[in-house]
Amino acid sequence: MTLPTTLERSSRGLWFALASLVVIGAVAIVAFSSAQLPGIPVGLGISIPPSGLIALGGSGGTGALPGSGGANGSGLAAGSPSGSVAPGGSGSPGDSGSPEGSVAPDGSPGPGGSPAPGTCADPPAGVLPAAIAFHGSRAAKVVALTFDDGWDAPTTLKILAILRRDHVNATFFPVGHAIELQPTAWRSVAKAGFPIGDHTYDHKDLTTLCFAAQVTELTRQQSIVTRTLGVSELPVMRPPFGTQNGLTRVAASVAGDVQLVLWDVDTQDWEGRSAAQIASRALAGGNGSIILMHTFAPNTAIALPRIIAGYRARGYRFVTIGQLLGVPGAVPFPPKAGTAG
Ligand SMILES: [Zn+2]
């Protein structure tokens, strides 16, 4: 019975060849994955630093610090568990509790949100990633209030009125789409001289987008600020949810932003907390703190006078993100000698 034997041998040979291909494929996948580890060049002309080693300075020595320190290392108010992402609360987009730990280690685009094939260019070679700041210098008694998103015009205007009345500097990070929906309110903010930073066009998680799409999210918001509000944007960006990766930092540079601005104090106002809770969390900051709040949370406007009074009672001044990090831009209320600022 030589025929079956020959067939059997042929079959064995075929299976051996297939198994060899599977093994070779697995080895290739492992080798490729290793090349994506943090700190190893990813073949895009950039080297992704390990998460936590992301401060590049470039802000006049005013305090970009490693993520390994930040809120948890400073004894300041910590946000929600590391890496958490805001669920969006009551239909409004929020930001994550703690930016530390939310740094995606690689620059690979995730599923969904990527443009059609052929429209997603790689980052240009030789572009330095923008620096990241979680807070400013710990040497001065200053804090920076920041207000994100901008969907709710009445609350935005209430916050604006309190800041003007109490002569308090602050920085706004509206989403481009929110400016389109609420142009009158945002023109009021811009006209009052408050600096406006980039918070993307529609609050997507940038780590789900390829490089070119991340750049577009940033530049689209910038053009709306220029066209609709008639002001130059402060060249800083805050990634929605605090999530970003190596591509985000290069995208920010390409879009003209010199800093990614995160925070070390999260009021969690996007979660529907009470005014007392928001004030308590906001007042847990210290020298150089960046305090995260939102313009869509009505309780934020209620808490704001308490936050202002609390910091002033402790001898703090309020500065813009530009003042805190050494980025030139709008400063509505320059500090005067002998005033609280
Ligand atoms: Zn946001």
Kindly tell me if the per-residue pLDDT of 32 is higher than 50. Answer: no
Ligand 1 center from residue 78 Cα (angstroms): 18
Q: Tell me if 116 is assigned to some domain.
A: yes
Residue 265, domain extent:
70-325
Q: Tell me if 217 is assigned to some domain.
A: yes
pTM for the whole structure: 0.69
Q: Indicate whether 16 and 91 sit together in one domain.
A: no
- The closest of 307, 322, 310 to 163, measured between CA atoms, is 307
Q: Indicate whether 171 and 87 sit together in one domain.
A: yes
Q: Tell me if 245 is assigned to some domain.
A: yes
Number of domains in the chain: 2
Give the number of other CB atoms < 10 A from CB of residue 306.
16
CA 16 to chain centre: 51
Spatial distance between the Cα atoms of 274 and 31, rounded to a whole number of angstroms:
51
Q: Indicate whether 77 and 167 sit together in one domain.
A: yes
Q: Indicate whether 250 and 124 sit together in one domain.
A: yes
pLDDT, tens digit, 9 for 90 and up, residues 296-317: 989 999 999 999 999 999 999 9
Q: Indicate whether 241 and 136 sit together in one domain.
A: yes
Q: Tell me if 185 is assigned to some domain.
A: yes
Ligand 1 center from residue 204 Cα (angstroms): 9
CATH number assigned to the domain comprising residue 312: 3.20.20.370
pLDDT, tens digit, 9 for 90 and up, residues 161-170: 999 999 999 9
Give the 3-state secondary structure of residue 193: coil
Catalytic residue positions, numbered? 148, 294
Ligand 1 center from residue 111 Cα (angstroms): 21
Ligand 1 center from residue 118 Cα (angstroms): 29
Q: Tell me if 40 is assigned to some domain.
A: no
Ligand 1 center from residue 92 Cα (angstroms): 9
Q: Indicate whether 149 and 289 sit together in one domain.
A: yes
Q: Tell me if 87 is assigned to some domain.
A: yes
Kindly tell me if the per-residue pLDDT of 15 is higher than 60. Answer: no
* pLDDT score recorded for residue 17: 43
pLDDT, tens digit, 9 for 90 and up, residues 89-98: 333 345 654 4
Spatial distance between the Cα atoms of 259 and 237, rounded to a whole number of angstroms:
6
